[in-house]
Amino acid sequence: MKKFDAAIAGGGVIGSAIALELARAGLQVSVFDRQQPGQEASWASAGILSPAPENPGMVAMVPLGKASIALYPEFVAQVEEISGRSAGFRPKGTLEALFSQDTKAQLSTIIALHHGLGLKAEPLRAEDARELEPALSEDVEAAVLRPEEASVDNRALTAAILEAAKRSGAEIFSGNAVKAMWREGNRCAGLVLQNEKVEAKWTIIAAGCFSATIEGIAQYAPVRPAKGQMVALRADDLEIDRVLWSEKIYLVPRNDGRIVAGATVEHAGFDKRVTAGGIEKILSSAIELAPGLANARIEETWAGLRPDSPDHLPILGPTDIDGLLMATGHFRSGILLTPITARLIREWITEQRVSADWDRFSPLRFSAAATDAARHAPA
Ligand SMILES: Cc1cc2nc3c(=O)[nH]c(=O)nc-3n(C[C@H](O)[C@H](O)[C@H](O)COP(=O)(O)OP(=O)(O)OC[C@H]3O[C@@H](n4cnc5c(N)ncnc54)[C@H](O)[C@@H]3O)c2cc1C
């Protein structure tokens, strides 16, 4: 029987980054993926690194996002050095364009919200925004520049992390689906694969939106897939330097000249089909934001499945079963949250303490909520 200090279910960006951290801390680590690792959400993503909340429900995640983006430059440098591969990190800021008639009020609300959360944001007049990013539409009325935000080529990053984890001693097993966690009394003894068991002192579930399909995990990680469709464009006569947002869309420039546009958010089960309606929505919003894109070539379309949790917040940390940890539910921010997730899981395993408050993200919050609801339900 294979025996490790830590066994990880899932080799996306989260599982592989945890493997890298633990291997560098001197642990014997294994990653089991049911297919080639790194081909699900981590491959499909846009790679924007933005801790700004998209809605009030996401405010709880801001401190984690800020801590993670602060780790990014060092994290990328380490991954690139060990793997010998580029991660396509672009620390160039992001620019949110406003079209509305009521831009003045909207602008001051956005700026105040960011400053209240300790996030850097600068108001820009339309002409200043267009000077920075000439591709922006003439109809843009104002903008918000978030200079500390960034982007990364998530496909390149995930491949680089996997390579760095391997070179640091982690064993990666492709085509090895995890069926269940191996429970012995109140202890998790490792993972159950199709035809064998793997023994580990620590077991980490990082199987993205598929985590709840592993036997014994749904109560800790009741995640479901949230489909996102994407388009990659190439425009020879148009330059975009920063990530651009409107209310409807984002455009993410890559180092190789591609512009990635996305994304839809659909709860459609595990379906990854690209649809005419989805792509139409993305393309019309992209052209509204940067009209020159009307002449761009469509290079690729795809869809991926984000790991969404009931409160849309990540699921991180130990469970009430000894040795069993969750690292999933990162929804729309898994690339942003990769360095902090890997660090916190490593700290917990090697030091039994963590350097950031992660109680809000506990895997026990769903069973606690269920018990609470049952207690307050009318008899
Ligand atoms: C369209 C789209 C756009 C996005 N944009 C952004 C963005 O701009 N910024 C950002 O920060 N985040 C973004 N995200 C979210 C981010 O991509 C995810 O949160 C992140 O990739 C999740 O990583 P993961 O490793 O948990 O999951 P995944 O990458 O899905 O990896 C899970 C792995 O587990 C494996 N697996 C599944 N079941 C089993 C099993 N039973 N046994 C073994 N292995 C198993 C899978 O094969 C897979 O390799 C986006 C996501 C999508 C889809």
One DSSP character per residue, 300-348 reads: EEEEEEEEE-TTSS-EEEE-SSBTEEEEE--GGGTTTTHHHHHHHHHHH
What is the C-alpha to C-alpha distance for residues 322 and 319, in angstroms, rounded to an integer?
7
Distance (angstroms) between ligand 1 centre and the Cα of 378 equals: 39
For residue range 332-355, list pLDDT tens digits in order. Answer: 999 999 999 999 999 999 999 999
Provide the 10 A C-beta neighbour count for residue 139: 11
Using a 10 angstrom Cβ sphere, with 0-12 exposed, 13-18 middle and 19 or more buried, the burial of residue 364 is: middle
pLDDT at residue 76 is higher than 60 = yes
CA 164 to chain CA mean position, Å: 19
Ligand 1 neighbours (beta carbon < 6 A) = 9-15, 32-35, 37, 39-42, 44-48, 177-178, 206-208, 210, 214, 228, 230, 262-263, 304-307, 328, 330-336
For residue range 275-305, list pLDDT tens digits in order. Answer: 999 999 999 999 999 999 999 999 999 999 9
pLDDT at residue 24 is higher than 50 = yes
For residue range 312-326, list pLDDT tens digits in order. Answer: 999 999 999 999 999
Distance (angstroms) between ligand 1 centre and the Cα of 57 equals: 21
Sign of CA dihedral 40, 70, 324, 23: positive
Distance (angstroms) between ligand 1 centre and the Cα of 44 equals: 8
pLDDT at residue 369 is higher than 60 = no
What is the C-alpha to C-alpha distance for residues 300 and 297, in angstroms, rounded to an integer?
9
Distance (angstroms) between ligand 1 centre and the Cα of 41 equals: 3
Residue with tokens 């190789």: 256
pLDDT at residue 379 is higher than 60 = no
CA nearest ligand 1 atom 27, residue: 208
For residue range 81-105, list pLDDT tens digits in order. Answer: 999 999 999 999 999 999 986 787 8
CA nearest ligand 1 atom 21, residue: 42
Residue pair 348/355 in contact (Cβ under 8 Å)? The answer is: no
For residue range 137-169, list pLDDT tens digits in order. Answer: 999 999 999 999 999 999 999 999 999 999 999
pLDDT at residue 370 is higher than 60 = no
**Residues contacting 6, CB < 8 A, separation 6+:** 19, 22, 27, 28, 29, 30, 200, 201, 202, 203, 204, 349
What is the C-alpha to C-alpha distance for residues 93 and 84, in angstroms, rounded to an integer?
25
In this structure, what are the phi and psi dihedrals at residue 145, rounded to the nearest 5 degrees? -100, 125
pLDDT > 70 in the chain, percent: 97
CA nearest ligand 1 atom 12, residue: 333
pLDDT value of residue 372: 58
Distance (angstroms) between ligand 1 centre and the Cα of 305 equals: 7
Sign of CA dihedral 48, 49, 53, 58: positive
Mutate which of 32, 35, 335, 340 to test ligand 1's pocket (most atoms within 8 Å of Cβ)?
335
Average pLDDT of 193-220? 97
Residue pair 19/29 in contact (Cβ under 8 Å)? The answer is: yes
